[in-house]
Amino acid sequence: MKSLFGIFISALVPKKFRFEFQLALRHLLSGGSQTLLTISAVGAGVIIVIFITSLIFGLEEMMTNLLTESIPHVVVQVKDPKPDGLQDAENPVSNKIEQQTSQLKFIDNGEQVVRTIRGLPNVRGVTSVVSGQGFASKGANPVGVAVIGAEPELLDEITPVTKDLVEGKYRGLGSDEIVIDTELAKDLNVNVGDRIHLTSSSGQADSFSIKGIYDRGQGRGSAYVTLRNGQSLFGLGTSINVIYIKIYDIYDVEDLSNTIMTLTPYEAKPWTKDFSRFLTNIRMMEASAYLISIFSLIASAFAIASVLVVSVLQKSAQIGILKSMGARQQQILTVFIFEGLGVAILGSALGALIGMTIVYLISLLKRSDAVIGGEPASLFPVKILPVYIGAAILAAIISTVIAAVLPARRAAKLNPVDVMR
């Protein structure tokens, strides 16, 4: 007697709710195009949410990556001392604040600090760096250049040089070797293998052979030497003056800097400090994604509510007869909630499937301005976040059920005497 489907229902639905479930199911099945319409409304809402969030978060990720991949996320250095000025009250010759001299302040327990930072959460890479200013020359004209002394393998993890090389190598940099950018190479008219002269701001000088030339397309870059060379160029002995840190969650950077500043006497500057406007823009993009999502879900909830209101009107006589047979208000309410739930689950599943397919297809579109031989970049930088898809489905289900409650309550309260005339 029992169909396969009946057995399925018996297995899945508690006996207590079988009447409500059966009736909701029959309503949906007999609803035909009306049911399809409501399912599509929920689906459309979910598709929009998935599409918008994938696109905006993809864009956000691309922009942030572009911005932060070449910079350290946290820079640890010695705090700037407060300039003296008027404090020397005994001999107030001048109240003009002196500019800081280019004298380097150094971190003498560098290794210990690096070890401490490495043990902190969210830290992806840490490296000791000597950073300062100098002059590069080949023959007569010296050109100002920022000099960075670090271990190539470690620095590549943080502010990559190797991937931007146009010639030569960075990894395996020797003690008298240097990597410079194309601008400097052009100014000095040098090439890989040539030797250049480098004088640091603290007066030491040395000559280096060019091992590689890189191009970041961001104007004048730094000149890279080994940590040892940097230390001797700036007369730091075994000390360093900067620590570069790369982290996993780049938006969780403030916490890390604060932790570092409580653990060490040094200043830890998060990348966000220099890019607050960029961050504001990112936040605005996120907010607009959320707003669009919320409005599209609200719109689909209204569509569902209106269809269900009509459905309750159509079924008022049926509700009346069910009540005359002993159906309780709660049961009628549950029937219509189940209907809403069924529409919500089917619609959001369908929407998620179609939405993810669309996003995937879009991610296949490539930009036409790809470099020959290079990997073409995506036209739309999309990012599918499972948590947002889950949230979209959940939000769609919740909004649909809320939309169902109103007509359902109305149905439950119908007086059988009034509707069965």
Partner 1 sequence: MNSGNDEAITVDKFPFGENSNSATPLVVETRGLKKTYFGKVDVPVLHGLNIRIHAREFVAVIGQSGSGKSTLLNILGALDVPTGGTVLINGTDISTLDEDELARLRSDDVGFIFQAHYLLNEFTCLENALMPITIRHGEANEEQTNRVLHLLNRVGLGDQINKHPDEMSGGQNQRCAIVRSLANAPKIILADEPTGNLDSRSGEEVFAMMREMNRESGVAFVMITHDDRLANAADRILLIEDGNIREISKEEHRREALRISKQSGD
Using CA atoms, how far apart are residues 11 and 261, in angstroms rounded to an integer? 60
- For partner 1, the binding residue among 66, 294, 317, 394 (CB under 8 A) is 317
Compute the chain's Rg from CA coordinates. Answer: 33
318 lines the binding site for partner 1 (CB under 8 A) = yes
- Asked if 210 contacts 194 with a C-beta cutoff of 8 angstroms, the reply is yes
> Could you tell me how far CA 57 lies from the centroid of its own chain?
7
Contact region with partner 1 (CB under 8 A), list: 27-35, 124-132, 234-242, 263-271: 27-35
- Does position 7 interact with partner 1 (CB under 8 A)? The reply is no
Axis-axis angle for helices 33-68, 276-314 (nearest 10) = 170
Least Å distance, CB 420 to partner 1, is 6
Q: Applying CB under 8 A, does 331 fall inside the site for partner 1?
A: yes
For 65, the token pair is 């990556």
Among 180, 301, 327, 343, binds partner 1 (CB under 8 A): 327
Q: Enter the DSSP assignment of 283.
A: H
Q: Which residues pair with 168 in a beta bridge?
A: 212
Could you tell me the smallest distance in angstroms from the CB atom of residue 40 to partner 1?
A: 22
Tell me which stretch binds partner 1 (CB under 8 A): 79-87, 223-231, 313-321, 402-410.
313-321
Handedness of CA 178, 182, 188, 191 (dihedral sign): positive
4, 15, 96, 103: which one contacts partner 1 (CB under 8 A)? Answer: 15
Residues 135-154 that bind partner 1 (CB under 8 A): none
- How would you label 374-394 residue by residue, b for 16+ Cβ within 10 Å and e otherwise? eeeeeeebbbbeeebbeebbe
Cβ atoms of residues 139 and 172 within 8 Å: no
171 belongs to the binding site for partner 1 (CB under 8 A): no
Q: Which of 301, 308, 322, 414 binds partner 1 (CB under 8 A)?
A: 322
314 contributes a contact to partner 1 by CB under 8 A: no
Minimum separation from the CB atom of position 18 to partner 1 (A): 4
Which of 112, 207, 218, 330 lies at the binding interface for partner 1 (CB under 8 A)?
330
126 within 8 A of 245, measured Cβ to Cβ: yes
Which residues of the chain form contacts with partner 1 (CB under 8 A)? 1, 10, 14-19, 22-23, 26-27, 29-30, 317-318, 320-331, 416-417, 420
